[in-house]
């Protein structure tokens, strides 16, 4: 399921509508998925500081959590109407970068985050068997913003 579709489904649910009455100041923050664990989106809403995460099928609300960000920053609003790039296309771009630049790395877990960091983007991280993290950021038009590979083990 595409993230935009999952958001629309969630926002029509009775559970979300009841929650939104209590927390009207919260706004859409992110979509999150660990591909190998579940193909379902986790959808986060924030007040700029804390995040509440929703699961679909069935709708479940996770308790409010602190976020990892600089104290002077607020979490930016994810703009639902600007979610143009499909998950499949983003994964295709990620795999192309991996195969062209980091072909020797074998990925065992893929973490997909859709967020707004001055623009809506896919922030895809692949964890490798060689204890490295491959990160590719892709804008909603399919342009690669950045890619990097770094070791998770300090020498």
Please give the Cα distance from 132 to 153 (Å, whole number). 8
CB 62 within 8 A of CB 139: no
CB 128 within 8 A of CB 107: yes
Percent of the chain residues topping a pLDDT of 70: 95
The answer to whether the pTM exceeds 0.75 is: yes
Query: Could you report the per-residue pLDDT of 58-117, keeping only the tens digit for each?
Result: 999 998 887 766 666 788 999 999 999 999 999 999 999 999 999 999 999 999 999 999
User: How distant, in Å, are the alpha carbons of 20, 50, 85 from that of 33?
Assistant: 23, 19, 16
Rg (CA), the chain: 16
Please give the Cα distance from 68 to 127 (Å, whole number). 20
Which residue in the block uniquely carries the two structure tokens 């950021």? 137
Q: Where are the domains of the chain?
A: 3-78, 84-151
Q: Was domain 84-151 assigned CATH 3.10.450?
A: yes
């Amino acid at each position: 399921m595409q993230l935009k579709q999952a958001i629309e489904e969630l926002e029509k649910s009775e559970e979300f509508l009841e929650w939104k009455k209590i927390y009207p100041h919260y706004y859409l923050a992110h979509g999150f998925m660990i591909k190998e664990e579940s193909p379902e989106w986790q959808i986060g809403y924030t007040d700029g500081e804390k995040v509440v995460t929703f699961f679909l099928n069935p709708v479940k609300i996770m308790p409010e959590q602190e976020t990892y960000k600089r104290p002077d920053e607020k979490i930016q609003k994810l703009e639902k109407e600007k979610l143009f790039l499909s998950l499949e296309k983003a994964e295709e771009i990620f795999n192309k970068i991996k195969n062209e630049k980091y072909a020797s790395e074998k990925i065992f877990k893929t973490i997909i985050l859709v967020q707004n960091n001055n623009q809506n983007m896919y922030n895809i991280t692949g964890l490798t068997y060689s204890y490295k993290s491959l990160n590719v950021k892709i804008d909603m038009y399919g342009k690669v913003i950045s890619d990097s590979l770094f070791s998770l083990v300090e020498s």
